[in-house]
Amino acid sequence: MMPLAATAVDLTYSWSQALADLSQIAPIATLTLFLLFAIVVDLALPKSRRGDAVAMVAAVGYVLSLATAFYRWNYGDNGPAYQGYATGDKFSLFFEMLFAVLGILTLAVSHSYLKRRRFVAGEFHVLILAAVIGMMVLASATSLVTAFLGLELLSISLYIVCGYARGETKSQESAAKYLLVGGFASAFVLYGMALVYGGTGTTLIPDIAKTLQASSSSNPLILLGIVLMGVGFAFKISAAPFHMWTPDVYQGAPIPVTAFMSVGTKAAGFAMVIRIFAGGLPHLAPEWQVLLAFVAATSMIVGNLMAIVQSSLKRLLAYSGVAQAGYVLIGVIAGGQADPAVRAAGLASVLFYLFVYMFMNFGAFAVVTALAGPEGDRDRLSDLEGLYRRSPLMAILMTVFMLSLAGFPPFVGFFGKLFLFTAGVSAGYTWLVVVAVVMSVVSVYYYVRVLIPVWSSSVRTDKLEWSVSSTMAIVLSGALSLVLGLYPTTVLIASTLGVPISFFGP
């Protein structure tokens, strides 16, 4: 009989191993420490000083997290952590830098907005910090368990901030709808993950890929799990036909929250899709590619056609986001191809587009924050009338954002779509690219329609309030939307480096 000591599991965990694991998730750990410190500051300081103090703590946290991720990108020894449940590879670092920049932009735009709307600022910044950490966890997750934890941290934080305008019925309705629909989506994702675990015997994404590679037949449990996860992911990235919550939630939430969600949840959702589908299920690519192709085509058609009839800028950009999710899915589908070159091009185009989409879309929402007053948000297209008379700079920047989203050269949106569509053709999905090109032409109508009131000869003299921080955030977004269009290969190279080598394999 074997001695007990020989059969016992080694549970030792040295300090050196703990530090090595912690270094792999250093950007997340850094931001988590500042989140805890921000909570303490919000509790300890007098009410009159909490907002500014918490905002300062959040700003330092975002900057240090960004610097840590940038340092590890260039000098870090990137690899798995916590026995394969997380990773610090360049794919996760790419998204961690993206989310840190998004946090900085949100903080810059929301700080003056919160004062103007007379909202409690401290709690808002704490919740956004928690949401950013959830996004980072999603990007670094290499286990289905870790991915679900990150998804729930992100979702719960957003449920609350969507209803942050406590005195407005629309905001409360927004939070309630997002909570109910988000709960259903999470249930789909969790059930799908459970079925995949039941079919493979593991929750670790690399081990799932190895198990499926060794298996010669398709397990019905895994196929059903793919369908359920695909439905849940489509909810999270606002893809049709699971998009119906998006325009209502976007319209009811405060504008900075809408701007944050429009970029952050989409990027985090796609990080999860790529990690699980392209990383863990490459040998079942034909199955999930069919599912995603249907979702992509439906998203592009529904999103663009529904955006045409909107009179609210929030709802218009919400449907625009549905269409944009369809474009990005083309790159994800290409990322499931067996050819390493096509796979690399597809995934790199997704990372590139998500990065530049942050500046285009966030900037458009950020311009609208100045229209808000103590009585509420003003997001009707008519509220933009005569913007060029009231603020020529903001009128020019709004034009840049709209033309970039529409895909006009030389703005970065044109090159983002070009890379996605090229990858789609290389992957053999020419029919899907044709749909995308036709729908892109349709989108020109409603993007240009936004600019008509901006450059109208209205004599409105409403006072618009842009703080220094929000102005800098909008100007930076506009400048990058143009400069990255002139030099797109810079970010594309970084996007290619952000795709794990394991995704290139057969």
Query: Is the per-residue pLDDT at 1 higher than 50?
Result: no
Mean pLDDT of 151-156: 92
pLDDT for 199: 87
Q: What is the pLDDT of residue 325?
A: 94
3-state helix, strand, coil in the chain (%, to 5): 80, 0, 20
Contacts of 298-301 with C-beta under 8 Å, sequence gap 24+, read 298/239, 298/240, 298/241, 298/326, 299/239, 299/240, 299/243, 299/323, 299/325, 299/326, 299/329, 300/326, 300/327, 300/435, 300/436, 300/439, 301/240, 301/435, 301/439
How would residue 4 be classed by pLDDT, with cut points 50, 70 and 90? Answer: very low
Q: Can you list the alpha helix ranges (DSSP code H) found in 335-429?
A: 340-369, 387-390, 392-406, 412-426
Determine if residue 45 is left, alpha or beta; phi over 0 gives left, psi from -120 to 50 gives alpha, anything else beta: beta
What does the pLDDT average to over 426-431? Answer: 92
Q: How many CA atoms lie within 13 A of 99 on its CB side?
A: 36
Evaluate whether residue 172 is within a structural domain. Answer: yes
Whether residue 415 is contained in a domain is answered as yes
pLDDT band, residue 9 (cuts 50/70/90)? very low
Whether 27 shows a pLDDT value over 70: the answer reads yes
> Across all residues in the chain, what is the average pLDDT?
87
Q: Tens of pLDDT along 261-296?
A: 999 999 999 999 999 888 888 888 888 899 999 999
* Cβ 133 vs Cβ 32: under 8 Å: yes
Residue span of the structural domain in which 114 resides? 20-504
Give 38's pLDDT tier (boundaries 50, 70, 90). Answer: very high
1 located within any domain: no
Query: Higher confidence at residue 458 or residue 279?
Result: 279
Structural domain contains residue 117: yes
Domain count within the chain: 1
Task: Specify if 8 maps to a domain.
Answer: no
Is 413 contained in some domain?
Answer: yes
Lowest mean pLDDT among 75-89, 192-206, 313-327, 374-388: 374-388
- 31 within domain boundaries: yes
pLDDT given for residue 167 in this prediction: 79
Residue 27 contacts residue 65 (beta carbons within 8 Å): yes
Is residue 191 exposed (0-12), middle (13-18) or buried (19+ Cβ within 10 Å)? middle
pTM of structure:
0.92
Query: What does the pLDDT read at residue 6?
Result: 43
Q: Tell whether 473 is covered by a domain.
A: yes
Expressed in angstroms, the distance from the first to the final Cα of the chain is: 44
Q: Does residue 5 surpass a pLDDT of 60?
A: no
Q: Is the model's pLDDT at 2 over the cut of 80?
A: no
Q: Which two tokens stand for residue 190?
A: 């969790």
Q: Which residue has the tokens 């790159």?
A: 331
> The tokens of 339 are what?
């050819």
